Amino acid sequence: TSQPLILGIETSCDETGVGLVRGTTMLANAVASSVDEHARFGGVVPEVASRAHLEAMTPTLHRALDEAGVGLEDVDAIAVTAGPGLAGALMVGVSAAKALAIAVDKPLYGVNHLVGHVAAEQLENGALTEPVVALLVSGGHTELLEVSDVASAAKLLGGTIDDAAGEAFDKIARLIGLPYPGGPHIQKAAADGDPSSIRFPRGLTSERDMTRHRYDFSFSGLKTAVARWVETAERDGVPVPVADVAAAFQESVADVLTRKAVLACQERDIGTMVLAGGVAANARVRDLARERCAEAGIELRQPRLSLCTDNGAMIAALGAAVVEQNLEPSAPDFATDSSLP
């Protein structure tokens, strides 16, 4: 094909990702994770993540090139996550990308990690052809976005006013004695639980909140409710039904996320919803989104699980869209921005 070959590099958190993409076709997606090194601390330790990226970068790059059956000299442009994310972790990826861009004398694009999550979906179902509502749910962010083209600015419809959805999963996991990262472990525990056995609150869904915070989310009240419930059980000497608590918590998160995303589609007259980010890998979120979108006549686009969590192919996919729009490469002295909006 004549489409340019884009190399994508991702190091914003604890996954070192290197991907290769042409247009919306994925050729390679190599990921190395330092998640096991962080597990005993109950969360990502920034310095540990940075060192792990430094160690994993070159081997992961070679794995990606091998997987695609190409050489570095075949790469036409490089995209790298400039932010948001952990400052030191981002610097490892951007340093590597700058060095590679010099070595192969090709343009370099510093791109937004969050938009990369949305761009990942294009590797699944092709380029977006009309505006979509994106439900972006990760460890650091929870936002409803209106996106017409991933290479152009997205419109922020709403977002969390406290914890991100993934953060809530991670905190609740800790509370009920499940390992980090909480999301997958809660999902697994919830499979044996009854989601209707406990009714946890749905954040920002009261009539009053729906006027002021229509497309916003809040998970801190839910977190407090789960903590109180567990404390009460422990005080009464009752064994905590971990599976039921996990299922009821997961149900509350999935309910609010999908309810507000569908509402945004309906009220903004948008026919397509895109799920993106690590929490979009959650089976209950996916099922409920599918069910509610079908009911509302909304087309649902969601990437496979490996494209939901952090990876390099999503950054390459965004790079491909940016190159296709003929946007200017980043200046040679561009910096990382850990709080890039």
Question: Where on the chain is the footprint of ligand KG4 (CB under 6 A)?
Answer: 13, 138-140, 166, 169-170, 181-184, 187, 277-279, 281-282, 309-310
Q: How many whole angstroms separate alpha carbon 230 and alpha carbon 240?
A: 7
Q: How far is the CB of 261 from ligand KG4 (least distance, A)?
A: 16
- Kindly tell me which of 170 and 310 has the beta carbon lying closer to Zn ion: 310
183 annotated to a ligand binding site: yes
On whether 326 is known to bind a ligand per the annotation, the reply is no
The least distance separating Zn ion from the CB of residue 114, rounded to whole angstroms, comes to: 7
Instruction: Name the site residues for Zn ion (rule: CB under 5 A).
Output: 138, 310
Nearer to ligand KG4, 195 or 278 (CB): 278
Q: Per the annotation, does 71 bind a ligand?
A: no
- We find the least distance from the C-beta atom of residue 277 to ligand KG4, in angstroms, to be 4
To the question of whether residue 88 is assigned a binding role by annotation, the answer is no
Q: Does the annotation list 136 as a binding residue?
A: yes
Residue closer to Zn ion (CB basis): 119 or 178: 119
Of 158 and 303, the one with the shorter C-beta distance to ligand KG4 is: 303
Whole-number minimum distance, CB 262 to ligand KG4, in Å? 19
The rounded distance, in Å, linking the Cα atoms of 267 and 18 is 38
Residue 285 annotated in ligand binding: no
CA nearest neighbour of 53 among 40, 44, 65, 42: 44
- Pick one of Zn ion, ligand KG4, none as the site partner of residue 93 (Cβ within 5 to 8 A by kind): none
Using CB atoms within 10 A of its CB, is residue 108 exposed (0-12), middle (13-18) or buried (19+)?
buried
Minimum distance from residue 83 beta carbon to ligand KG4 (Å) = 11
Q: Which is nearer to Zn ion, 244 or 310 (CB)?
A: 310
CB of 97 to Zn ion, least distance (A): 17
Structure tokens at 176: 């009920």
Give the nearest distance from C-beta 141 to Zn ion in angstroms. 8
How big is the CA angle at 96 (ends 95 and 101), to the nearest 5 degrees?
Answer: 100
Residue 24: name its binding partner from ligand KG4, Zn ion, none (Cβ under 5 to 8 Å by kind).
Answer: none
140 is in an annotated binding site: yes
- The values of phi and psi at residue 85, to 5°, are 160, -170
Q: Which does 303 bind (CB under 5 to 8 A by kind): Zn ion, ligand KG4, none?
A: none
Rounded CA-CA distance 103/101 in Å is: 5
Judged by beta carbon distances under 5 to 8 A according to partner kind, the member of ligand KG4, Zn ion, none in contact with residue 309 is ligand KG4
Binding partner of 215, given Zn ion, ligand KG4, none, CB within 5-8 angstroms per partner class: none
Residue 121 or 251: which CB sits closer to Zn ion? Answer: 121
Strand partners, 31: 17
Q: Which is nearer to Zn ion, 164 or 189 (CB)?
A: 164
170 labeled part of a ligand binding site: yes
Instruction: Check the annotation: does 17 bind a ligand.
Output: no
Q: Which residues are annotated as a binding site for substrate?
A: 136-140, 170, 183, 282
Q: Which residues are annotated as a binding site?
A: 113, 117, 136-140, 170, 183, 282, 310
Q: Which residues are annotated as a binding site for Fe cation?
A: 113, 117, 310
